[in-house]
Amino acid sequence: METTEDLRTIVDGCIKGKSKYQQQLFKLFYGKMMAVCMRYAKDRDEAQDMVQNGFIKIFSKLDVYNFEGSLEGWIRRIMINTAIDQIRKNKRDPFSIEDDSRIQNLEEDVPFADDEEHDVKIKAETAIKAISALSPAYRTVFNLYVIEGMSHKEIAEYLGISEGTSKSNLAKAKMKLKEELSLKFEH
């Protein structure tokens, strides 16, 4: 793990435009940021585009980073913003919903059997694929709520949608995931 002094050296080198330090920063955070973007992307190629675009923004904004908080957290926030911006760019209004009065209260958790480690890994991979297959709106709200821990109010403000839309998109995402995972795990 890099020390704060190491990170300062890398950041200073990046600000000066030195490719050696840009490569170090990229290598240091690529894996974690790829994992973040995979949660928002429909596939690996789209996630890689998000990561590339995110690092372009990071390199252009590093001079405003003041080391008052974790560099990783700062980079993560830029990656999430980049992912959401890319989703918006690819679809005019991905966060709107159709009126659906059939939404019911859904169970908070998708049940997973606590089997052997191999089975758990397969189920985790299946769940990640199922999340990636959700529409951009459902996937984004699901990730912001479940993974990032944001409230519906925060999501609504962040995405420029109503709290009701956020709640509806989360409920629909859970419903679709429950259907998909129930089919996969029955067998």
Whole-angstrom distance, CA of residue 185 vs CA of residue 3: 44
Q: Indicate the domain borders of the chain.
A: 4-90, 117-186
- Burial of 60 (C-beta count, 10 Å sphere; 0-12/13-18/19+): exposed
* Element spanning 36, H or E: helix 19-40
- Per-residue pLDDT tens for 97-126? 543 433 333 333 444 444 455 566 676 777
Answering whether pTM is above 0.85, one says: no
Under 8 Å between Cβ of 147 and 76:
no
Q: 1.10.1740.10, 3.40.50.720, 3.40.50.150, 3.30.470.20: which CATH number matches 4-90?
A: 1.10.1740.10
CATH architecture of the domain formed by 117-186: Orthogonal Bundle (1.10)
Instruction: Provide the mean pLDDT of the chain.
Output: 83
